[in-house]
Amino acid sequence: MNLTWICLFLPLFAAVVISFFTSRHKHLSAALSIGAILVSFLIVLEISLSGGHHGGHELAVSWLEVGPLKVDFGLRIDSLSMMMALVVTGVGSLIHIYSYGYMDEDPGFSRYFAFLSLFTFSMLGIVFSTNFIQMFIFWELVGVSSYLLIGFWFGKESAADAAKKAFLCNRLGDFGFLLGIIILWNLVGDLNFSSLQAGWAKNSPLLGKYATAVGVLIFCGAVGKSAQFPLHVWLPDAMEGPTPVSALIHAATMVAAGVYMLCRVFFLFNPEALCVIAWIGGITSILAAVIAVQQNDIKRILAYSTLSQLGYMVMTVGLSAPAASMFHLTTHAFFKALLFLGAGSVIHALHHEQDIWKMGGLQARMPVTFWTFLAATLALCGVPPFSGFFSKDEVLAAAFHQNTALFVIAIFVAALTTFYMARLFFVAFLGRPRSDASLHSHESPSVMTRPLMLLAILSVLGGFIGIGGVFERFFEPSTQESAGWVASLFHPFSEPLPALFGLLAIMAGFCGAVALYWNAAKDPFPEMARSLSRAIRQRFYFDELYELLIAITHDTLAALASAFDQWIIGGLVIRGAHGTAEFCGRALRLVQTGNLNTYAFLLVAGATVIFFLVLFR
Amino acid sequence: MSHPGLEHYLAVSILLFCLGLFGVIARRNLMIIYMSLELLLNAASLALVAFSKFNGNLRGQILVFFIITVAAAEVAVGLALIVALYRKRQTAHVEDLVSMKL
């Protein structure tokens, strides 16, 4: 029995035990769930450190054989899956521990941890998948567990709606994903990642004219899961879930699954598909960044920021730089999880107040949250030497070399990112308290602040401790070992132009935010550009547009179905059968005369006919 | 005159049967219809006895015993029904017994 199997199934075991046995003992449930993910983390760490994953290998059992379809259930162990598993279990562990403090008074405490463990299991399943079918199964499991977690407070109507919305948007993307898998299987007859990749170099024109279609359809899966335009609408609404869930699912892991999948099957995409991927990513990043500028809910700002950064990652994959994309994914997981947990800490302290204009003056009252949030903000903006700087620089460098238009977009997004994060920070943390709640706030318990500190350390150091190098060596095996952390500290400046533009963008965004929001009592932006502000606040009317489109389609379909039901089913089938039966009944009723003699006569006549037929024929 | 043959017996039997059938179809009084039914049974019995005699075995006669038994049982039940009906409705005419008609 390999340790990695234990690592995968331990969270599932925890989820099952909590659901069936320990749901009445909240501390035991939490201990089980946290213990499971911690042990998983230690196992992954041990394998990574011992170098057991070098070269990459698979553990697989045959799971399904139907005719030519052979599906393995296995574990793919290489540096890509190991790094991703480290992120999932590492950041996940911290979030589990944090949840212990955050959810303390919630009546659904045990249920929460059961869902959390189920989610961890599903996510690890995606990470370790060896083939498309297995990945698709866990892909759906992630969808289900995120549905459960977003709708955790299902008594609240908005939460239940958000859960449904997230699930449906995901399903929409997954439909394309499944279609892509089916076409791929039809043409190639093999769904295993490593054998596909091995065979790809030899007969890459195997897909022929379907290559682009397959690439784009598989990308559809990532569009749904990673909330890319045009399916981005579910992520902001998913903020209805508990805040640690937002940190786990909607920052560090689930939404990253789409990017991970793209990197895993990167060899599949031809230049046209990559172009589509890059532009979708670019559009998502700028759209979300613009919307984030005028949101007032702290979690929604972070949600749109996540969307924007996911757009970055997807765009980078499209620009043929999966290593940079995975690097940004990893650092983003650190600082975005930290941002969400920090926001959760603030929300917890302010008794579930989420409007940033009712916060303020938190520096003295919540020092740990304040400083860690600051570190994460700087990392997100890409200020050197925080981790975000290094990964974002690689993203910008990739765009710089490949596509000038996308480079301009990326720089603009970088400026916007700094702008809205500075706005959030100035308004929510600095200045004077704007409400009673923020006046009487106090620091969260240490079970919540310790994970913040650990994540802050990762957010600060994550850029130059060799994470980027691991991915580079995975995708470009010829790259030599990096030359130590001092060298990687100055690595971005080996290409001065993107780094310089990135820093300029940060300066520009920061200056803009200082000018508008330093000590601002209320948002001055709507006064300056009223209609633009309103459009942004309404998120460019995407929800309304979709609602309208869905309403029109739905109404048309409903009218068609109704007409079919009324005229074909009701008119022809039901009325027809009923009418025939009634007509025959009425005709036969005339025979029922009530006269005994008639009956006797008919009886004799009938008997005569039968005799005649039997005897003389 | 020679001895009557099988066809003579059967002719009488058919006559009896037609008489009974006419009574069942045409008469209005339940008692008369009832007696006509007995005529029908007797016509069948006569034919059977004739067959028995001309075939030289007793099979037909055995069947006749059954017919007599059934007829006795039928009379017991049927007359009781008619009496009960008469007590209830003060009539035994079929024209008056049409309450089952729709």
Q: Which one, of B94, B2, B10, lies nearest residue B52 by Cα?
A: B10
Asked if the Cβ–Cβ distance from A596 to B33 is below 8 Å, we say yes
Q: How confident is the model at residue A202 (pLDDT cuts 50, 70, 90)?
A: low
More confident residue, A446 or A339: A339
Q: What integer pLDDT is reported at residue A203 of this predicted model?
A: 59
Q: Give whole-number Cα distances, A468 to A306, A326, A330, A488, in Å.
A: 20, 8, 9, 9
Q: What integer pLDDT is reported at residue A52 of this predicted model?
A: 61
Mean pLDDT of A401-414: 86
Mean pLDDT of A257-283: 87
Three-state DSSP class for A64? strand
Mean pLDDT of A362-366: 79
Burial per residue of A124-136, b for 16 or more beta-carbon CB atoms within 10 angstroms, e otherwise:
bbbbbbbbbbbbb
Bridge partners of residue A278, in order along the sequence? none
Angle between helices A254-264 and A132-150 (to 10 degrees): 170
Distance, in Å, from the CA atom of B32 to the CA atom of B30, rounded to the nearest integer, reads 5
More confident residue, A156 or B20: B20
CB A362, CB A347: distance < 8 Å: no
Q: What integer pLDDT is reported at residue A557 of this predicted model?
A: 92
A492: pLDDT strictly greater than 60: yes
Mean pLDDT of A119-146: 89
CB A442, CB A293: distance < 8 Å: no
The model's pTM: 0.76
Q: Give whole-number Cα distances, A142 to A122, A128, A332, A352, A508, in Å.
A: 5, 14, 20, 27, 39
A529: pLDDT strictly greater than 60: yes
Cβ–Cβ contact A556 with B under 8 A: no
User: Nearest C-alpha of chain B: how many angstroms from A572?
Assistant: 30
Distance, in Å, from the CA atom of A232 to the CA atom of B62, rounded to the nearest integer, reads 96
Burial of A421 (0-12, 13-18, 19+ CB in 10 A): buried
Asked if the Cβ–Cβ distance from B21 to A604 is below 8 Å, we say yes
φ, ψ of residue A65 in degrees (nearest 5): -135, 105
More confident residue, A232 or B14: B14
Q: Which one, of A272, A283, A274, lies nearest residue A229 by Cα?
A: A283
User: Nearest C-alpha of chain B: how many angstroms from A570?
Assistant: 30
Nearest to A589 among B25, B27, B102 (CB): B102
Q: What is the mean pLDDT of chain B?
A: 89
Quote ipTM for the complex. Answer: 0.84
Best mutation target, B19, B21, B24, B25, to test chain A (most A CBs within 10 A): B25
Asked if the Cβ–Cβ distance from A596 to B102 is below 8 Å, we say no
A205: pLDDT strictly greater than 70: no
**A172-191, pLDDT tens digit by residue?**
889 989 998 888 888 877 78
Handedness of CA A565, A568, A571, A577 (dihedral sign): negative
User: Nearest C-alpha of chain B: how many angstroms from A589?
Assistant: 8
Distance, in Å, from the CA atom of A353 to the CA atom of A357, rounded to the nearest integer, reads 10
Mean pLDDT of A453-464: 82
More confident residue, B24 or A443: B24
